[in-house]
Amino acid sequence: MSIQYLEKERIFCLHTPNTSYLLGIVAQEGFLGHLYYGKRLLDVSGAQYLLRLEESPFVPEKNDRDRSSFMDCFPFEYSSHGVGDFRESCIKIRTAKGHAAVNLVYVSHEIKKGKGKLAGLPATFGNEGEVTTLVITCTDPVTKLNVELSYSAFENVDVIARSVKVINTSGEALWLEKVMSACLDLEAREYDVLTLHGSWARERHMERRPLGYGKTGVSSLRGESSHQEHPFIALLSKNASQTEGEVYGLHFAYSGNFLAQAQRSQFGQIRVVMGISPEEFSWKLESCESFQAPEVLLTYSAKGLGGMSRSYHDLYRNHLIRSPWLHKKRPILINNWEATYFDFNAEKILNIAKESAKLGIEMLVLDDGWFGNRFDDNRSLGDWQVNESKLPGGLGKLVSEINALGLKFGIWFEPEMISPESKLFEEHPDWAIQIPARRPCRARNQYVLDVGRKEVRDYILKQMFVVLHSANVEYVKWDMNRPLTDIGSAALPADRQGEISHRFVLGTYEMQECLLQEFPNLLLENCSGGGGRFDPGMLYYSPQIWCSDDTDAVERLAIQEGTALLYPLCSMGAHVSVCPNHTVGRSTPFATRAMVALAGTFGYELDVTKLSDAEKEEIPSQIRAYHAFHDLIREGTYYRNASYQENHDYDCFQVVGKGGKRSLVFFTQVLATPNEHSRCIRLQGLRENVKYKVIQVNLNKKELLTDAGKVVSGSILMNAGMIVERPWGDFQGRLYWLEEC
> Which domain CATH number covers 488?
3.20.20.70
Outline where DSSP puts E strands in 307-367.
Answer: 333-335, 363-366
524, part of any domain: yes
DSSP alpha helix (H) spans, 489-576: 500-518, 536-539, 553-564
Give me the catalytic one of 549, 550, 552, 607.
Answer: 549
Residues 452 and 475 in one domain: yes
Residues 396 and 340 in one domain: yes
325, part of any domain: no
pLDDT along the chain (741 residues), means of 10: 91 97 89 96 89 67 77 93 93 94 96 96 97 98 97 98 97 96 97 98 97 97 98 98 98 98 96 97 97 98 98 98 97 97 97 98 98 96 97 97 98 98 98 96 95 98 98 98 97 98 98 98 97 98 98 97 98 98 96 97 97 96 96 98 94 96 96 85 97 94 84 97 88 95 91
327, part of any domain: no
Q: What is the CATH number of the domain that holds 185?
A: 2.70.98.60
Give me the catalytic one of 158, 185, 367, 479.
Answer: 479
Residues 265 and 191 in one domain: yes
Residues 275 and 343 in one domain: no
Residue 147: predicted pLDDT: 98
Task: Give me the domain span that covers residue 499.
Answer: 333-633
Domain boundary among 609, 633, 657: 633
- Give the whole-angstrom CA distance, residue 564 versus residue 729: 27
357, part of any domain: yes
Residue 385: predicted pLDDT: 98
- Give the whole-angstrom CA distance, residue 156 versus residue 317: 12
289, part of any domain: yes
Residues 260 and 407 in one domain: no
Residues 205 and 224 in one domain: yes
Instruction: For residue 607, indicate whether it is catalytic.
Output: no
Residues 63 and 113 in one domain: yes
- Give the whole-angstrom CA distance, residue 706 versus residue 237: 45
- Give the whole-angstrom CA distance, residue 250 versus residue 182: 9
Task: Provide the domain count of the chain.
Answer: 3
Q: What is the CATH number of the domain that holds 720?
A: 2.60.40.1180
Q: Whole-prediction pTM value? A: 0.97
Residue 58: predicted pLDDT: 60
Bin 542: left if φ > 0, else alpha if -120 < ψ < 50, else beta.
Answer: beta
Residue 55: predicted pLDDT: 65
Q: Within a 10 A sphere around the Cβ of 238, how many other Cβ atoms?
A: 11
Q: Which helix (H) or strand (E) holds 149?
A: strand 145-154
Instruction: For residue 479, indicate whether it is catalytic.
Output: yes
Residues 481 and 515 in one domain: yes
Q: 3-state DSSP call for residue 634?
A: helix
Domain boundary among 633, 663, 690: 633
Residue 701: predicted pLDDT: 83
| Alpha carbon separation from 436 to 218, 424, 432, 556 (Å, rounded) | 31, 19, 11, 42
Q: Within a 10 A sphere around the Cβ of 275, how many other Cβ atoms?
A: 28
Q: Which helix (H) or strand (E) holds 134?
A: strand 131-140
Residue 29: predicted pLDDT: 85
Residue 677: predicted pLDDT: 79
Contacts of 278 by beta carbon, 8 Å cutoff, 6+ apart? 92, 177, 178, 259
Residues 84 and 113 in one domain: yes
Residues 116 and 188 in one domain: yes
- Give the whole-angstrom CA distance, residue 427 versus residue 418: 12
- Give the whole-angstrom CA distance, residue 593 versus residue 272: 39
Residue at 553: amino acid letter: A
Domain boundary among 607, 633, 659: 633
CB 704 within 8 A of CB 632: no
- Give the whole-angstrom CA distance, residue 536 versus residue 252: 7
CB 235 within 8 A of CB 229: no
Residue 675: predicted pLDDT: 79
Residue 727: predicted pLDDT: 76
CB 644 within 8 A of CB 633: no
Residues 574 and 519 in one domain: yes
328, part of any domain: no
Residues 210 and 236 in one domain: yes
523, part of any domain: yes
Going by C-alpha positions, the residue among 258, 69, 275 that lies closest to residue 183 is 275
Q: Within a 10 A sphere around the Cβ of 515, how many other Cβ atoms?
A: 22
